[in-house]
Amino acid sequence: MQNYNKSKSIHPADVMILQLAAAIEDHETVFHGVSSQLPMIAAKYAKAKHAPNSTILNIPGGVNSKSRNLSSYSSAGKEEWYDSESIFPLEKVFDLSMRGKLDVAFLGGVQFDEFGNVNASVIGDYRKPKVRLPGGAGSAVLIPTVKKALIWRTKHDKKTFVPKVDFVTTRGNVYRIVTPLCTFGQVGGKLVVLEISPLSSKQEVIENTGFSLSLDNVSIGVLPTQAELLLIRKIDPQGLRYLEF
Amino acid sequence: MSKVTNIEEAVRLVQDGMMLGLGGNVLHRSPMAFVREIVRQKRKNLRVVKTAGGHDVDVLAAFNCLKSVDAGFIGYETGFGLAKFYRKAVEDGTIQANEHACYTVMSALRAAMANVGFMPIKGMVAGDLITQNDYFKIIEDPFTREKITVVKAITPDIAILHVQEADEDGNGFIFGPKYDDILLSNASKKIILTTEKLIPKSRSAMNFKNVDIPGFLVSAVVVAPRGAMPGSCDVMYDVDSKALKDFLSISDLKELNLYLQKYDHQDHQFR
């Protein structure tokens, strides 16, 4: 693993949570899926901080679950169902997105290229893959329909950001890709770096990205404040946000 | 007449080559005792459908019971990693991975539920999933003339659902998240319930408004306490992390058989 920690007390996961949470506005409907601890914490953070009227939806069907006891291994279990305002199962969340009423969805992926193609399916050939990945889950229908598709990936290297993805699980309408090194957006169909992590540098981003980037006018983000870190730790006392690192 | 039977008899309803719909989601409330009995009875060439599967699909893959899997996601959650045996079998070409977006599995089941051949899907507009899989087609909407992707219906021969409580008629109660079990129950030709507890009919009748799986649709009921282990079952138990990690560290057939043996007694408590 690369040496991210220039500042000893701040982990890249903390910066990523703030980047993801910043994309959530008040009154928005927000969905996260399975194997999604980092987004789950980011959504809870946004709701606790600047988006108190947002609605958080999940796979088991809990609406704004207030459960304090987060599962140590799952973002799709009973913990996210109990202490909810109402029950709105996954099937209905998808239908909501199809009707254009889902504002934010958190999605994964393993390879990305500069045109915003997302691969969560296979490395190599689809029928005879070198690596069979878990699969895109809801991505292929959510990225085209949700207003803001937020992608997170805890690896940022040349195997992740490639000239051409091996398989296009889905494409288009990528609002943000947040990594430990930077945050991408999409302009004119192409991925552009919007901000570099305060724990990284322009050089590190360039060295770890497999396609060319223009970073001339890109700024380095600010470090999280003590108050922001305290709130993250309050929401995630177990440190689930580090699971993927 | 009571539909209660033992697990060996219930698995005899499963024939080689059948399409099975498995209840639960990833590591939660999967019909693991039933899955292990399928392995013991050496069923082959099974096809499985599930929006998001985990240990269930991985066990069937490890023992070579599968021909294909239609799913949006197959994996253990963060912390456990990839589904090792499933992954290897797909990479070797022995299992065909039919990747869906989770919603397209639901749409394929909705088509089966309504007994139509396909279902239109709003969001499926671009990418290799559409071009590489024969179960997606882009057609013209006959009313608007716009292009729309459709998914072919998937009709499971049997839905296998693990519930917390059921009566002898098969009226089943799910505690906590229901995931896609209700949809599966309506899309499948037959339903087999495995249940943590068998409750008297008088008790289910008192609570008839909360029945999740109506008994008249159910073919067989199997009493299977701890039947979702080593996965979780709401109210009853959480995952057995050690058992899952042990399973994922297995490297040969002998150890695989030991995994099965470990559950022999537990899976056959009610004969």
For chain A, list the domains and their CATH numbers.
12-242 (3.40.1080.10)
- Name every chain B residue with its beta carbon within 8 A of the beta carbon of A34: 25-26, 52, 73, 77
Q: What is the pLDDT of residue A36?
A: 92
pLDDT score, position A8:
55
pLDDT interval class at A245 (50, 70, 90): very high
Q: Same structural domain for residues B163 and B147?
A: no
| Domain identity same for B169 and B42 | yes
Q: Which amino acid appears at position B96 of this protein?
A: Q
B57 and B110 share one domain: no
pLDDT mean over A223-233: 95
The answer on B249 and B118 residing in a single domain is: no
- B235 within domain boundaries: yes
B268 occurs within a structural domain: no
Q: Which letter, b or e, does each residue of A206-236 get, where b requires 16 or more Cβ atoms within 10 Å of its Cβ?
A: eebbbeebebeebeebebbeeebbebbeebb
Has residue B36 been placed in a domain? yes
Reading chain B (271 residues) residue by residue, the pLDDT tens digits are 899 999 999 999 999 999 999 999 999 999 999 999 999 999 999 999 999 999 999 999 999 999 999 999 999 988 798 999 999 999 999 999 999 999 999 999 999 999 999 999 999 999 999 999 999 999 999 999 999 999 999 999 999 999 999 999 999 999 999 999 999 999 999 999 999 999 999 999 999 999 999 999 999 999 999 999 999 999 999 999 999 999 999 999 999 999 999 999 999 987 6
Any domain includes B122: yes
Same domain, B230 and B242: yes
Query: Which of A72, A127, A169 is closest, CB to CB, to B127?
Result: A169
Neighboring chain A residues of B128 at a CB cutoff of 8 Å = 121, 126, 167-169
Question: CATH code at B56?
Answer: 3.40.1080.10
Domain co-membership, B145 together with B169: no
Type of residue at B203: R
Structure tokens at B83: 């589904």
For residue A170, the chain B residue with the least C-alpha distance is: B127
Burial class (CB in 10 A: 0-12, 13-18, 19+), A171: buried
Question: Both B142 and B255 in a single domain?
Answer: no
Rounded distance between C-alpha atoms, residue B113 and residue B136, angstroms:
18
> What is the spatial distance between Cα A212 and Cα B205, in angstroms, rounded to a whole number?
67
Convert the pLDDT of each residue in B147-199 to its tens digit: 999 999 999 999 999 999 999 999 999 999 999 999 999 999 999 999 999 99
B16: helix, coil or strand?
coil
| pTM listed for this prediction | 0.95
Q: Is the pLDDT of residue A74 over 60?
A: yes
Whether residue B271 is contained in a domain is answered as no
Check residue A9 and give its pLDDT.
79
Residues B159 and B148 in one domain: no
**Containing structural domain, residue B56:** 4-99+155-262
User: Residue A180 and residue A123: Cα distance in Å, rounded?
Assistant: 22
The last residue of a domain, from among B152, B185, B214: B152
Residue B63: inside a domain: yes
Q: Which helix (H) or strand (E) holds B37?
A: helix B32-40
Residue B267 lies in a domain: no
Tell whether B69 and B175 lie within a shared domain.
Answer: yes
Q: Which tokens belong to A35?
A: 């194997």
B22 plus B108 within the same structural domain: no
For chain B, the domain total comes to: 2
- Residue whose structure tokens are 């003590």: A226
8 Å CB contact of A60 and B79: no
Question: Which of chain B's residues have a Cβ under 8 Å away from the Cβ of A75?
Answer: 77-78
The answer to whether B127 faces chain A, any CB pair under 8 Å, is: yes
Tell me if chain A has a CB within 8 Å of the CB of B38. no
Q: Does residue A33 surpass a pLDDT of 60? A: yes
Residue B269 falls inside a structural domain: no
Dihedrals phi, psi of A182, to nearest 5 degrees: -165, 175
Asked if the model's pLDDT at residue A136 lies above 50, the reply is yes
Tell me the C-alpha to C-alpha distance, in Å, between residue B199 and each of B192, B217, B266.
Answer: 16, 18, 20
Q: Which of B152, B171, B187 delimits the end of a domain? A: B152
The CA distance from A107 to A142, in Å, is 9
Q: Are residues B49 and B162 in the same domain?
A: yes
Report how far residue A138's alpha carbon sits from residue A117's, in angstroms, rounded to the nearest whole number: 15
**B185 shares a domain with B83:** yes
